Structure 1
Amino acid sequence: MSLLEVRNLKIYYKTPAGYVRAVDDVTFHVSKGEVFGIAGESGCGKSTLVHSLILRKPPMEHAGGEAVFKGRDLMKLSEEEARKIRYTELSIIPQYAMNALNPTKKIKDIVWDLAREHGHTNRSEVEKLLRERLAMVKLTPKVADMYPVELSGGMKQRATMVVSTLLNPDLLIADEITSALDVTTQRVVLELLHHFMEEGIVKSIIFVTHDLALLDKIADRIMILYAGKMAELGPTEEVINEPAHPYTQLLLNSLPRMGVQYKKQKLKGIPGYPISLLNPPKGCRFYTRCPYAMQQCKNEEPPLVKVGENHYAACHLLGGENQ
């Protein structure tokens, strides 16, 4: 059963030079009990997409499509309606989460402000829950009485995860939460996310990253974005082991592999630069960087093609049944 249904969503940024089409006609769903991964290089629209679901501020604008969450279109909610479900039904661990906590308040005061805003009146019960959740993420209860500046980077990350999930949201968005962490702490964070789902603290997760190796460890399905468009969507194992879109293939080839020395196999970068989304081309947006580009790619936008069971890619090179 789908918890979130996103259909033909368009999120643009209004600038003096025109509209930047950061997310342009993207469709996907997130099922209950699923970890849904979103990947792509910087500027592909990952963070814009997920932030549009929870908090849209100028110059970000909704330009079309819908995002139906538990029967309600998030694009049509008033600020008051959105505020009521934020952190209770739909929550986010923001990018740069280690700097997301108010440095002038203790952790317990940050949590109390959030809980009180959503109707909680018993501070002692809220602080008791906070200390239980801190213990769950291997932090001492004393952290509740500390300021963010007193915590290490890894401790701040875990404290932010506790704050974001304290009110048991149905859908948790994790936006690039491992990018500033060492590999050991990354593993801890991934294990905590799995633990939150196992304990029923959250029902589903959208995990956003540029690192496909991380998604291979945590996600059930992956969506690859490029220049605001969906390039590929499918089960994690298929997308990682049998990538259908040239962009996905190049992303995977750019990753280092354990046991493979540089002198034997050099890493391959993606040639060229991302296009401007102020005035994107009418054809495939990956055309200028694709090693297999044809004239058709320049002139026609590729359809989404079914390449396997629940596996789709948008590329003229692919045959098969259109979606």
Structure 2
Amino acid sequence: MIQIEGLQIYYKTLHGDAKALDDVTFTINDKEILGIAGESGCGKSTLGNSLILLKPPMKYVSGDVKVNGEKLPIDNNNEMRKYRYKKISLIPQYAMDALNPTRKIKGIIKDLVEEHRIKYEEIEKRLHERLNMVKLSKDVLNMYPFELSGGMKQRLVLVISTLLNPDLLIADEVTSALDVSSQKAVSLMFKEFRDREIVNSIIFITHDIAVLYQIADRIVIMYAGKVAEIGLTEEIIANPLHPYTKALIKSLPNAGVRHTKERLEGIPGHPPDLLDPPAGCRFKDRCPIADESCLKEPPLQEINKGRFVACWKVKDL
């Protein structure tokens, strides 16, 4: 349904270009929730934001993004206006601060729909239904954002972002500020929006693989601007293949296991400087099994149906 091919997005800095996304390729299937995970700085949020709006110092370098075969002009912010919220929509990181504090909620929504030449009255019934879905009263429409709690604003942003039934919804770290019970409730809400065909497919970006285990059909693991591994959620969790994915999984606590019996293991070292990334595999300086072959950059190869890994040391299953 959605194809991302060879996407390169850099950040202009005084010291050169930081290669935040460097030749990223994957697909999102019809009616799929695709999780994207990795350490801070791996390119997750850059990916989500670049598909919606390129803000300086971000710059498009190369690559294609297609939705149902139609190429999106992600390198042209003005042309992208007609696609935002209809073809592709975003719930940004820090969504609770995404609403204009000087306007009432109704005014914010009215501006959005009129941007797409839709009258507010045409969308009002759907809006009330969506508010009811997320357990918000229609009274919030006459309130300012500062009058709402954080949880209310989070649910409201979900409603606004999906009001025009986009083909693809990108959710960027929407559970990071929530407690465990709230995380589960939000995850189930996203599934309901997908199952009721309010949105077709979802990219769910997070550093928390445990959240993806509850919601995602497949997972993309990213490291230093590159895709390290792609597979079904169960496969990634139960049988990680890339050394970086293995290290991420080992850093997760297991339910019912006391710390005196099993200690969590961190990943030694630090991610590379993306202003001057090392040649070859970007994980090699932190990898316990790296050798001379890793001085050459490994391609992202399909080693089994739907299972992709970028590592010279992973053999055929």
TM-score category (smaller protein): over 0.9
Which residue number in structure 1 is paired with residue 285 of structure 2?
A: 288
Which residue number in structure 1 is paired with residue 99 of structure 2?
A: 101
1:16-44 CA distance string (max 9 Å, x none): 21111000011101111111111101000
Which residue number in structure 2 is paired with residue 139 of structure 1?
A: 136
1:102-125 CA distance string (max 9 Å, x none): 11222211111111111112x334
3-state SS in 1 of match to 2:45:
helix
From 298, 305, 311, the counterpart of 1:302: 298
1:37-78 CA distance string (max 9 Å, x none): 111010000111121111112221111221112333224664
Which residue number in structure 2 is paired with residue 200 of structure 1?
A: 197
Q: Which amino acid aligns with 2:271?
A: P
Residues 75 and 290 of structure 1: is their aligned pair in 2 closer, same or farther, counting only changes over 3 Å?
farther
Query: Aligned pair count?
Result: 317
State the distance in 2 between where 1:175 and 1:235 align.
20
From 238, 243, 254, the counterpart of 1:241: 238
**Aligned-residue offset at 1:320:** 2.7
Q: Does residue 45 of the first structure (1) align with residue 43 of the second (2)?
A: yes
**Aligned-residue offset at 1:305:** 3.4
Contact 2:54 2:77 in 1 (8 A): no
Q: Which amino acid aligns with 1:315?
A: C
Which residue number in structure 2 is paired with residue 227 of structure 1?
A: 224
State the distance in 1 between where 2:180 and 2:96 align.
16
**Aligned-residue offset at 1:128:** 3.3
- Give identity over the alignment, percent: 55
1:180-222 CA distance string (max 9 Å, x none): 1111111111111111112111001011111111111111111
Q: Does residue 258 of the first structure (1) align with residue 261 of the second (2)?
A: no
State the distance in 2 between where 1:111 and 1:102 align.
11
From 293, 307, 311, the counterpart of 1:315: 311
Which residue number in structure 1 is paired with residue 117 of structure 2?
A: 119
Q: Which amino acid aligns with 2:169?
A: L
Q: Does residue 159 of the first structure (1) align with residue 156 of the second (2)?
A: yes
**Aligned-residue offset at 1:15:** 1.4
Contact 2:50 2:74 in 1 (8 A): no
From 268, 276, 279, the counterpart of 1:279: 276
State the distance in 2 between where 1:104 and 1:42 align.
32
Residues 175 and 307 of structure 1: is their aligned pair in 2 closer, same or farther, counting only changes over 3 Å?
same
**Aligned-residue offset at 1:257:** 1.6
From 30, 39, 58, the counterpart of 2:56: 58
3-state SS in 1 of match to 2:271:
coil
Q: When the two structures are superposed, what TM-score results if normalisation uses the length of structure 2?
A: 0.96
**Aligned-residue offset at 1:99:** 0.7
Residues 279 and 10 of structure 1: is their aligned pair in 2 closer, same or farther, counting only changes over 3 Å?
same
State the distance in 2 between where 1:203 and 1:212 align.
22
Q: Does residue 268 of the first structure (1) align with residue 265 of the second (2)?
A: yes
Contact 2:165 2:199 in 1 (8 A): yes
**Aligned-residue offset at 1:286:** 0.4
Contact 1:178 1:189 in 2 (8 A): yes
Contact 1:112 1:126 in 2 (8 A): no
